[in-house]
Structure 1
Amino acid sequence: MLVPQDETQHIDLLVLPETNLILVASVIEPLRAANRIAGKVLYDWQIFSPDGNAIETKSGIPIPVSGPFRPQNETSPLFVLSSYNWRAYATTQLKMLLSRTARHRELMAGIEAGSWFLAETSLLDNFSATNHWEDFEDFTAAYPQVTMVRERFVIDGKRITTGGSLPTLDLMLELIRRQHSYSLALEVSRLFIYEQERTRGDLLQVPTIGNMRISDNRVGAAVKLMEETVEAPLTLTRLARRLGVSARHLQTLFQETMGVAPHVHYLALRLNAARRKVIESRADFADIAAATGFNSSSAFSRSYRAHYRESPSETRRRLKLKS
């Protein structure tokens, strides 16, 4: 899950009783959204419980499962999800199963209190990890062999840990970005953020940064300007001038805050807006190119293919065949 991949990524989820419903959704919903936006199955998953019974979440809404957690030699990533009263479910048998399956898994993730299960099974020894802020000190004292980091989520080699539901959503966006593209992660993030209506209706069609949080006000202002100028993109110099900083300084701020250069984010905004028009409208590609800031249909098609690994016409043809 940490490197680009074209094939469908399968994930196993072990969900413990008394897990928050929102924690499960924080893992699954971004994957579902990625499949919907891509128009194909990028991810699929199975949910297991320790005994094969439906999971009783803290909200009282049960989650059906595929069966009991009885791993063999599966290599797919395993996410262990837990919220409350984890000790009651950390049985000798479950810890033995986790230890055994870790020999084969390409990746194991402790989601919120799921990190306690990995630590109890010595699967976080000599790894960096995080935990929910309420439990951070207790976890640090209990497992001195684990290097604790005060981050929302931590990816360290074959181990992942998160500090709660929203950090888990951030994690899933990061995994989608690494495996597919920044633009797909950006578009998925857009589905999980509410924004008040703006003054221009057409801006509602442009993806925003969503859960990719912007900590610098100047970068936030740059992102808003990008959203407002999709049809006629500004140069980096003009963008920086509007914000009262140098182009080089804006580039540095953007890289530090967003993890990408300004032009990467700008292009992702434009291509995501274009892709929605390709999928949701019958507009000519020349009109879509003009509406999203491309000089010509050929330039748009080249950029679209490089990003989505298919041409605009292939996208329409593929989705038409599925309907």
Structure 2
Amino acid sequence: MNDEFIPKGVAHVDLPAGQTTDVISFLLLPKLSLLAFTSAIEPLRIANQLTGQKLYSWQMITEDGRPVRASNGVEIGATCALSEARIPGALFVCSGVEPDTVVSDQVAGLVRRHWRMGHMVGGLCTGAYALAQAGILKGRDFTLHWENMPPFRESFPDLEPLDQLYAIDGRIVSCGGGSSATDLFLRLISERFGPILSHSVLNMCLHPVHRSEEEAQQSSRAASLGTRNRKLLQILRYMEENIEELISLDDLAQRFAISRRQIERLFLTHVKATPKQYLTDLRLRRGRMLLAETDMKVADIASSCGFESTNHFSRRFREKYGVSPHRFQSAWRGA
């Protein structure tokens, strides 16, 4: 056994000999998430190692064939350039930060052609941006990293990502990135070669449990706040889902049948801020995200985040981040 795709190991899983090899192609975009990429490729390597067979082979494709730099600065070598690639099986787009700036027409065109040829197409972390640009997500279940969902919705208002670890909708698969890529690929291994191999790969990864696709990407708000107060959790969720609306303490009290004083007490006890402070901070964080991840004008961002005016947004943004929204956006794009 001398194959770069079949490393040696002591643990073993019996599988009938002569299994056909699935070729997985990873299209690596600049500033991709290295964690998501390695969390996807390692289960494939381990499946080969455990069985002593080349169940999977893989190739890394970049647009120009040169190494690509991940978001943490690590360079990843390429097997070939996009124009030279032969892609006989599944194609996964690996992206990361600033996903709206790295999807070229060439990348979107490749994804679209591969989909039309009847192959599986996937997106890791923010890879859904490429799938959206290719026009193949309409009416499909998909997801991407939770941090990028608000700017994604602004860029593609007719598409709605799911707040879950990963999604499988026929030949379109996606995950939120990070370790959820391992959960996605464990599922693909299980469907292809059975649950025994998948569970053995899970144990080799020291992955405590194979999480289902429906699980939320973020830990529950109740766990992070240390409370299960139903009224407070409902109010926090309402604020997040209606951030662009005018929200007053009186409105909240009436909507959730709770007094103003009770709301203020709950916030100070569990959130360590007043309702107004929390909502303002929520809006500023959303605004910062939109400045960084979209080409929206500052005035439009101010409106979509629920600020009374552009001046109000700019003033509060400068107070929190020490820089104006315009300067922040320019500096971010120029980085």
Name the TM tier (shorter chain): 0.5 to 0.7
Instruction: Give the counterpart letter for 2:210 in structure 1.
Output: M
Give the Å deviation of 1:66.
Answer: 1.0
Instruction: Give the counterpart letter for 1:18 in structure 2.
Output: K
- Post-superposition Cα deviations, 1:56-97, rounded to whole Å, max 9, x if no partner, equal 112222111111112677441100000112222212232223
Distance 1:138 1:184 in 2: 38
> Secondary structure at 2:179's aligned position in 1?
helix
Distance 2:184 2:198 in 1: 11
> Secondary structure at 2:200's aligned position in 1?
helix
TM-score using structure 1 length: 0.56
Partner of 2:90: 77
Instruction: Give the counterpart letter for 1:210 in structure 2.
Output: P
Which of 192, 198, 213 is 1:179 aligned to? Answer: 192
Could you say if the C-alpha distance between residues 213 and 100 of structure 1 is closer, same or farther in structure 2, counting changes exceeding 3 Å? closer
Instruction: Give the counterpart letter for 1:61 in structure 2.
Output: V
1:99 corresponds to 2:112:
yes
Distance 1:148 1:83 in 2: 16
1:157 corresponds to 2:146:
no
Partner of 1:114: 127
Q: Is the 8 A contact 2:189 2:198 kept in 1?
A: yes
What are the residue-to-residue correspondences of 1:46-61 with 2, within 5 Å?
Answer: 46-61=59-74
Q: Is the 8 A contact 1:72 1:101 kept in 2?
A: no
> Secondary structure at 1:183's aligned position in 2?
helix
Distance 1:119 1:109 in 2: 11
Q: Is the 8 A contact 1:153 1:163 kept in 2?
A: yes
Q: Is the 8 A contact 1:125 1:146 kept in 2?
A: yes
Partner of 1:131: 144
Instruction: Give the counterpart letter for 1:67 in structure 2.
Output: C
Which of 187, 208, 211 is 1:210 aligned to? Answer: 208
Instruction: Give the counterpart letter for 1:211 in structure 2.
Output: V
Instruction: Give the counterpart letter for 1:45 in structure 2.
Output: W
Give the Å deviation of 1:138.
Answer: 3.0
Distance 1:39 1:14 in 2: 27
Partner of 1:203: none
> Secondary structure at 2:60's aligned position in 1?
strand
Instruction: Give the counterpart letter for 1:112 in structure 2.
Output: C
Partner of 2:12: none
What are the residue-to-residue correspondences of 1:254-273 with 2, within 5 Å?
Answer: none
Partner of 2:80: 67
Say which one has the larger Rg: 2
Partner of 1:190: 203
Structure 1 runs of 4+ off > 6 angstroms?
A: none
Could you say if the C-alpha distance between residues 58 and 72 of structure 1 is closer, same or farther in structure 2, counting changes exceeding 3 Å? closer
Instruction: Give the counterpart letter for 1:146 in structure 2.
Output: L
> Secondary structure at 1:70's aligned position in 2?
helix
Question: Which runs of 5 or more residues in structure 2 are unaligned?
Answer: 1-17, 213-335
Partner of 2:266: none
Could you say if the C-alpha distance between residues 82 and 72 of structure 1 is closer, same or farther in structure 2, counting changes exceeding 3 Å? closer
Which of 103, 124, 137 is 1:90 aligned to? Answer: 103
> Secondary structure at 1:129's aligned position in 2?
coil
Instruction: Give the counterpart letter for 2:209 in structure 1.
Output: N
**Between 20-29 and 65-74, the greater mean CA deviation after superposition:** 65-74
Instruction: Give the counterpart letter for 1:87 in structure 2.
Output: D
Give the Å deviation of 1:213.
Answer: 4.4
Partner of 2:27: 14
What are the residue-to-residue correspondences of 1:14-53 with 2, within 5 Å?
Answer: 14-53=27-66
Distance 1:145 1:155 in 2: 19
Instruction: Give the counterpart letter for 2:61 in structure 1.
Output: F
Q: Is the 8 A contact 1:124 1:146 kept in 2?
A: yes
Could you say if the C-alpha distance between residues 53 and 71 of structure 1 is closer, same or farther in structure 2, counting changes exceeding 3 Å? closer
Instruction: Give the counterpart letter for 1:32 in structure 2.
Output: R
1:169 corresponds to 2:182:
yes
**Between 146-155 and 166-175, the greater mean CA deviation after superposition:** 146-155
Q: Is the 8 A contact 1:191 1:210 kept in 2?
A: no
Could you say if the C-alpha distance between residues 57 and 73 of structure 1 is closer, same or farther in structure 2, counting changes exceeding 3 Å? closer
Distance 2:192 2:54 in 1: 13
> Secondary structure at 2:144's aligned position in 1?
coil
Instruction: Give the counterpart letter for 1:66 in structure 2.
Output: T
Distance 2:60 2:211 in 1: 29
Give the Å deviation of 1:109.
Answer: 0.1
Distance 2:38 2:187 in 1: 16
Instruction: Give the counterpart letter for 1:115 in structure 2.
Output: A
